[in-house]
Amino acid sequence: MKDSMKWILYIIPYFIYINTFSQQKVSGRITDEDGISLPGVIVVNMSTDQKVYSNAEGVFSIDAFAYDELRFVRTGFERASRKVLPDGINSQLVISLIRVAQDIEEVKVNKITGDLTKDSRAVAKVDKGEIVGRAVGLPQPVGKMREKPAEIKQVLLPILLGNLNVQGAYDLISGKARRQKRQYRYDDLQEHINWIRKRIDDDYFISMGIPGERISEFIEFSFLETPQVRTYVKAKNLSGALLKMEEIVPVFLKRLK
Q: Which residue has the higher pLDDT, 61 or 6?
A: 61
Q: Exposed, middle or buried, 213 (CB in 10 Å: 0-12/13-18/19+)?
A: exposed
CA 81 to chain centre: 22
Specify the pLDDT at position 216.
94
Specify the pLDDT at position 240.
86
Q: Dump pLDDT digits (tens) for 171-191.
A: 667 777 788 788 888 989 999
Q: Which residue has the higher pLDDT, 59 or 123?
A: 59
pLDDT at 105 over 60: no
Domains in the chain (CATH in brackets) are: 22-97 (2.60.40.10), 166-256 (no CATH)
Rounded to two decimals, the pTM is 0.56
Q: Dump pLDDT digits (tens) for 63-99.
A: 999 889 999 998 888 989 999 987 666 668 899 999 8
Mean pLDDT of the 122-151 span: 56
Residue 122 — pLDDT band, cuts 50, 70, 90? very low
Mean pLDDT of the 211-234 span: 93
Q: Dump pLDDT digits (tens) for 5-28.
A: 554 555 445 444 444 456 788 999
Within 8 A by CB and 6+ apart from 171, the residues are 149, 150, 177, 180
DSSP letter (8 states) at residue 86: G
* Mean pLDDT, the chain, integer: 77
Q: How far is CA 153 from CA 98, 118, 184, in A?
A: 52, 56, 20
Specify the pLDDT at position 221.
94
pLDDT at 140 over 70: no
Q: Dump pLDDT digits (tens) for 29-58.
A: 999 988 888 888 999 999 888 999 998 889
pLDDT at 149 over 90: no
Within 8 A by CB and 6+ apart from 197, the residues are 215, 216, 219
CA 198 to chain centre: 7
Q: Are 53 and 246 in contact (CB under 8 A)?
A: no
Residue 150 — pLDDT band, cuts 50, 70, 90? low
